[in-house]
């Protein structure tokens, strides 16, 4: 099993630097993928989200592993995320309780505000694990006022709740012992700065899209100075949904391919090693056992200064995920 380094969160808790991402990990596959990642590849950090609609299957896998004593709950770092339709204070705790029920655990190590954008409330059955087939928290398509709107992307936005209201409700979940740390995702520095002016529970982690084409070095430095860890999602770019992500294929970049050949590694391993070496946490998604092991096997080599400089020069502030295209909010514009 791989010996993965950890960062220390502001609480002193260890935060494994390579975790397993579960975005787009399909139902019927994700459960076995999580089992393999933990038992065969040695992952101890699993990144989840209610929005991914696969937490119930992940929960079944975790329960099985705990019962088999393949891993103890306290040896795993589990991340979850508050979904956009549940930002009002009265919806925050129930949504967390739903996540805990789906994952079959008593607490999360980290709970993130998935996006700093609130959607209109989408109903769900809080008494059952998983979600009904037509549940659509991304598009809010079950809501007539959204589906019939001329511009559904903007119609689903809820302007009646502040980030402060949501954050303070998340803080109450820490005080209740249901989550150990809370944090933010998909945020620019100015929003983090604002949260720090009123937060009683300091953000422990910021999770943003980061890879050689989108390095966010200034935000990383700002976070470091404030004792906040940075997690990189989509660290290998994304080849899925190319119709709306666009852009070049990161893992085919000639510079990365050349560095990979130099070290007898894959371009994916170079991206992951770069993320670890610059002091961030990285959560590549894979349901393939071989690639899971490859992704976590990045501690037995280092990139030299020339490699790091060449990768730094690749930065183009390119986001594969752009909310300005979805609902007109330019979160990441310069």
Is 52 catalytic? The answer is: yes
How many residues belong to the chain? 334
The H or E element containing residue 7 is strand 6-8
Beta strand extents in the chain (DSSP E only): 6-8, 14-16, 20-21, 45-47, 77-82, 110-113, 182-185, 205-209, 229-233, 281-282
User: What's the distance, CA 69 to chain centroid?
Assistant: 27
**Cβ(89)–Cβ(57) below 8 Å:** no
Determine the 3-state secondary structure of 78 from DSSP. strand
At residue 81, what are phi and psi to the nearest 5 degrees?
Answer: -145, 140
DSSP 170-195: HHHHHHTTSBS-EEEES--HHHHHHH
Pairing label, strands 281-282, 229-233: parallel
Q: Any idea what DSSP says for residue 10? A: T
Distance, CA of 236 to CA of 56 (rounded, Å): 26
Among 228, 241, 158, which residue's Cα sits nearest to residue 187? 228
Residue from 52, 124, 222, 320 carrying the catalytic annotation: 52
Among 159, 151, 120, 208, which residue's Cα sits nearest to residue 327? 151
Residue for token digits 């989550």?
Answer: 179
Query: In sequence order, what are the residues at sequence separation of 6 or more whose Cβ sits closer than 8 angstroms to the Cβ of residue 79?
Result: 19, 45, 46, 47, 48, 108, 109, 110, 111, 112, 207
Q: How many CA atoms lie within 13 A of 96 on its CB side?
A: 28
Catalytic residues: 52
């Amino acid at each position: 099993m791989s010996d993965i380094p950890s960062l220390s969160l502001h609480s002193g808790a260890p935060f494994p630097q390579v975790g397993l991402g579960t975005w787009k990990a399909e139902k019927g596959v994700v459960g076995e993928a999580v089992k393999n990642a933990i038992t065969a590849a040695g992952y101890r950090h699993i990144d989840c989200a209610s929005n991914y609609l696969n937490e119930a299957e992940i929960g079944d896998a975790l329960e099985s592993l705990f019962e088999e004593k393949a891993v103890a709950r306290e040896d795993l770092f589990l991340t979850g995320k508050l979904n956009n339709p549940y930002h009002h204070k009265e919806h925050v705790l129930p949504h967390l309780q739903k996540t805990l029920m789906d994952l079959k655990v008593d607490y999360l190590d980290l709970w993130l505000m998935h996006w700093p954008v609130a959607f209109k409330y989408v109903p769900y059955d809080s008494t059952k694990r998983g979600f009904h087939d037509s549940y659509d928290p991304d598009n809010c398509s079950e809501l007539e006022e959204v589906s019939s709107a001329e511009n559904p992307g903007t119609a689903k936005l809820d302007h009646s709740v502040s980030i402060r209201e949501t954050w303070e409700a998340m803080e109450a979940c820490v005080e209740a012992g249901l989550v150990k740390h809370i944090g933010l995702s998909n945020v620019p520095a100015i929003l983090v700065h604002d949260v720090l002016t009123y937060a009683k529970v300091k953000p422990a982690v910021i999770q943003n899209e980061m890879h050689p084409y989108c390095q966010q070095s200034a935000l990383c430095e700002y976070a470091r100075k404030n004792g906040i860890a940075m997690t990189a999602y989509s660290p290998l770019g994304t080849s899925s949904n190319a119709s709306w992500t666009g852009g070049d294929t990161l893992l085919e970049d000639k510079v990365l391919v050349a560095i990979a050949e130099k070290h007898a590694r894959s371009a994916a391993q170079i991206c992951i090693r770069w993320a670890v070496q610059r002091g961030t946490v990285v959560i590549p998604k894979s349901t393939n056992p071989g690639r899971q092991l490859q992704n976590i096997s990045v501690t037995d080599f280092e990139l030299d200064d020339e490699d790091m400089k060449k990768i730094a020069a690749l930065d183009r502030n390119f986001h594969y995920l752009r909310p300005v295209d979805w609902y007109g909010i330019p979160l990441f514009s310069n």
